[in-house]
Structure 1
Amino acid sequence: MPIMVDLHSPIFDASNPQRTAQCRRETEAVARRIVLDMVAAGWRESEAALALADAFDDYCIYLAKRPVTTLVAANSNQFAVRQPRLR
């Protein structure tokens, strides 16, 4: 069963604090839809929600461990620099 949610592109610049709130609203809508679809498939709401939270947590850990890549222009004759993330 496909999970269909109308996602909206960010309307705020990356430096605007309201962007985070908009992202959270979008994420909550997607998470709610996933949990409801899992419940419709026969999973209990609590186990679906906890599994989703675990999956998000795992993804956050993956992002934290991933090396930071500093992007440079393709015509700059420089190489991208990989740096470990600071804790």
Structure 2
Amino acid sequence: MRGRSGMGGGDIRLAPLLGAYLGYLGFDVLVVGWFLGFLFGALQGVPTMLVRRSGWATRIPFGPFMFLGAWVSVWAGHAIGDLYLRLTLGG
């Protein structure tokens, strides 16, 4: 991690690679993978910060959550994107 805030160097190098691959599969796959990475990270990070009572100073690797979001998106990104559009736009 550089300084006291922000993503670490590995996360910064990993994000464009995953984004390029998911973008190649489709925009909906890219958006679903991006969203799921942050969602999985939050689902792990928020309870971890509460249990440790350390707040924003807690360092949590984000790479595994990016990989998990990308993996789920590769296999189900189109279906999740279609479901989201049907539920929000009613189509």
What is the TM-score of this pair, normalised by structure 2?
Answer: 0.37
Higher helix content, 1 or 2 = 2
What is the TM-score of this pair, normalised by structure 1?
Answer: 0.38
User: Which of these two proteins has the greater Rg computed from alpha carbons?
Assistant: 1
